[in-house]
Amino acid sequence: MFAEAQQARDDAGAAADRVGVTRLVVTNFRNYREARLTVGTAPVVLIGPNGAGKTNLLEAVSFLAPGRGLRGAKLAEIDRQPRRGQDDGTGGWAVAAVVATCRGSLRIGTGHDMTAGERRVVRIDGEPVRGQATLGERLGVLWLTPPMDRLFVEGPGGRRRFLDRLVLGLDPAHGSRFAAYEQALRERSRLLRDGPRDPAWLTALEEVMAEQGVAVAAGRRDAVQRLDRVCAEAEGPFPRAGLVLAGTVEAWLEAGPALAVEAEFAAALAHNRQSDAQAGGALIGPHRSDLHVSLAEQGIAAELASTGEQKALLISILLAHARLQQAVRGEPPVLLLD
């Protein structure tokens, strides 16, 4: 009797520590006119034939985090489209979820506001919130998808996006800093290409790039260093990953304080205006950084590892990041495996 009661308490405690989506409602989302799903906090496995919409449901859950979801799609691409012989698609997709967290139940609603182009609206516990960063403050979401299998053999852009997703899980403000940096980067590139090359205007943009870019690089650098330590301590069937962030601004941060690096970055941008104009964009900055991954114990670069080793490395990094999120946030993320 005592053992059974103790087991019940242990089970209840374990359930209380779990984070999971317990109710999901999608409307006009991909192939779904409407779908409802109610589950517990235990792991959930979706089964069904190809084309049934399993990945679409995972994508819907991924929109409980900031960003464009696990497919990186434009909002309009997600609107349900009309099919021959069926009613017209109405667009304006929506996702509503109830999430069990260690701090209690959380209600999240998000969707495509068709009156505002590529704008996503978000409500948390029934109240509208400005921007998506609040989602990241309330819930962590991680995912693994088949296209990520080529992360280590394709260009650095995919690895930067992957890294930024990991940083967002630790620092939800990272997204707004990177958006501000990219906006200034695009505007500076346009001015250098099309004119007028107003020195004062260019200087103002370069100051924004320096301030936000150094903050982005510092956030990435901190996340990679912390994640590398967690990976080094990992035990289990997956290989230990070694992580190194490479980039000009990151190297400057190794040598000096952030304020000095901001000044150095701004000066370099001003000096490089002509070469950047010829190249079509800034030749230095966090938009050109790369994440180098290796099999730590063998010292083999990830791009030289076998396909199986690369996938195992990716899983190892995601599991380490989930542990790091739990340590930082006090609860684990929702993990989506496609």
Place of tokens 């929506």: 94
Mean pLDDT of 317-334: 95
Residue 204 has pLDDT above 50, yes or no: yes
> Which of 214, 226, 227 shows the shortest CA–CA distance to 286?
214
Higher pLDDT, 46 or 90: 46
Band the pLDDT of 86: cuts 50, 70, 90: low
In terms of DSSP bridges, do strands 20-29 and 94-101 run parallel, antiparallel, or are they unpaired? antiparallel
pLDDT of residue 13: 41
Rounded-to-integer distance, Cα 264 and Cα 14, Å = 50
> Which of 155, 157, 215 shows the shortest CA–CA distance to 181?
215
pLDDT of residue 17: 65
Band the pLDDT of 161: cuts 50, 70, 90: very high
What mean pLDDT, rounded, does the chain reach? 91
Q: Which residue pairs from 162-167 have beta carbons closer than 8 angstroms and sit at least 24 positions apart in sequence?
A: 162/291, 163/220, 163/223, 163/224, 163/245, 163/291, 164/220, 165/67, 166/223, 166/227, 166/317, 166/321, 167/219, 167/220, 167/223
pLDDT of residue 179: 96
Structure tokens given for 274: 């002509």
Q: CA-based Rg of the chain, rounded to a whole angstrom?
A: 22
**Which percentage of the chain shows pLDDT scores above 70?**
92
Residue 131 has pLDDT above 50, yes or no: yes
- pLDDT 10s digits, 247-299: 999 999 999 999 999 999 999 999 999 999 999 999 999 999 999 999 999 99
Higher pLDDT, 81 or 243: 243
Rounded-to-integer distance, Cα 41 and Cα 18, Å = 6
pLDDT of residue 87: 57
Q: Where are the domains of the chain?
A: 1-139, 145-338
Q: Class assignment of domain 1-139? A: alpha beta
Structure tokens given for 330: 């006090």
Q: Is the pTM of this model over 0.75?
A: yes
According to CATH, what is the number of the domain 145-338?
Answer: 1.20.1050.90
What DSSP letter does each residue of 246-267 carry, written as one string?
E-HHHHHHHHS-HHHHHHHHHH
pLDDT of residue 7: 32
pLDDT of residue 195: 84
Helix axes 156-170, 174-194, angle to 10 degrees: 140
Contact (CB, 8 A) for 66 and 136: yes
pLDDT of residue 5: 28
**Which percentage of the chain shows pLDDT scores above 90?**
85
